[in-house]
Structure 1
């Protein structure tokens, strides 16, 4: 059953990706975009499988309340509900009610929620479950990371603005652009769309990158240690369950 569920999850993700490609879009005689019948078939099949699986697990669960409060089961429910809500919106839209002129936008948003199906992989992955447990128990470390980055970004954005604002060649002419530059520099992303051009700005940029490496490394070490602990614990739990 686990192999079948995992296979359907992968098929659903692949179908969702293919559905976003323009080559697979279709239009009717009114030049209105319609659903590709092949993609609709795979979508319906996957949702029916997920729905049946969810209902069966709910039926055999000792406590329906605990079942519905489980994070993994909430993810399962959120992955199938957009299909039924979208179907209801499409049926309402056929009535050409003027009050439903924004139904199309709602449907598009609901279809984006299908991305939650990717999280269904957590049911079959010890690593993803361990990652979730790590994040739940690392609120202090994550909070410290956000605080350190916020202070550093605010400080370096102000410094880079002061030394670059008088240079015509520099794009760092405002504080918001400075925040963007400091964010991608401290996190070592470095898109390269904005960069300092003055010697003082380049010196500040060097300090910003070095400080970013140090700031990110400090809490990440504790988070990684917790992940290793939860991962080993989850592997033992999975091993015990497989031996039953």
Structure 2
């Protein structure tokens, strides 16, 4: 087995039976957890100021680990199944969603050592939270749920379209009914959109609300429609989650049966 094949076997979950984590993957998972912990704790001034040197060292170590992992995944990418040359497969990984996430995490982890602007640094340090997205690679459940949601993407798009239509109609209705009465809140459709979104999601902060009978009627329609529309994607996501867990249980049962069948009597 070549070095690239061994590295691919260590880094990619699908290369191992039942998608279990390898020792290298477990190390990366712990690195992600520690990087998140340091990133969260570093936002507290009483901790960041006295331990600034230690935090910088930890950030550098995490950044280098993520960089080595990223380069290793690019190097091992040609071992993945599928047609194409070695560099075509590498580019396929680099431009994939998880490859872009890996690149962002590396850039965000190492950027503080090359940027001096304090305001930009605060944003970059906050973006380190995106490293939590790397867990989708290591979680079989997340992969199953993602596949189930992709299967129901059309249903979710329909729900999102209906919600958008209702929000726009509600905002236009309040602009037409109360635009002259409350110009600051409903003087334009963009201003009324805030109220429409909050009403549709049934949050209701109370900072903006209609004062006329016609305006309250429009608000009631948007609120009732919001209750119905929020229930639709909730049911779709719940069904997708249930299907994903069922497939996971069936796959584990088949793997167990295969293992038992391979054991000689």
- What residue is the counterpart of 2:32 in the other structure? 9
Residues in 1 aligned to 2:59 and 2:180: alpha-carbon distance in whole angstroms = 56
- What residue is the counterpart of 1:116 in the other structure? 130
- What residue is the counterpart of 1:214 in the other structure? 228
TM-score normalised by the chain length of structure 1: 0.72
Matches within 5 A, 1:148-227: 148-167=162-181, 171-227=185-241
Q: Which residue of 146, 161, 171 corresponds with 1:147?
A: 161
- What residue is the counterpart of 1:84 in the other structure? 110
Larger mean CA deviation between 164-173 and 78-87 belongs to 164-173
Q: SS where residue 14 of structure 1 aligns? A: helix
Conserved 8 A contact 1:170-1:197: no
Change (3 A) 1:178 1:5: same
Give the CA deviation at 1:46: 2.1
Conserved 8 A contact 1:130-1:231: yes
TM-score normalised by the chain length of structure 2: 0.68
Q: Give the gaps of 5 or more residues in structure 1.
A: 28-34, 94-102
Give the CA deviation at 1:36: 1.6
Q: Give the gaps of 5 or more residues in structure 2.
A: 1-22, 81-88, 260-265
Give the CA deviation at 1:181: 0.5
Give the CA deviation at 1:108: 5.1
Q: Which residue of 58, 81, 99 corresponds with 1:42?
A: 58
Conserved 8 A contact 2:202-2:223: yes
Change (3 A) 1:179 1:69: closer
Larger mean CA deviation between 172-181 and 229-238 belongs to 229-238
Residues in 1 aligned to 2:197 and 2:108: alpha-carbon distance in whole angstroms = 34
Post-superposition CA distance 1:71-129 (Å, at most 9, x none):
43443333113333543x34xx6xxxxxxxxx666655544442220111223333432
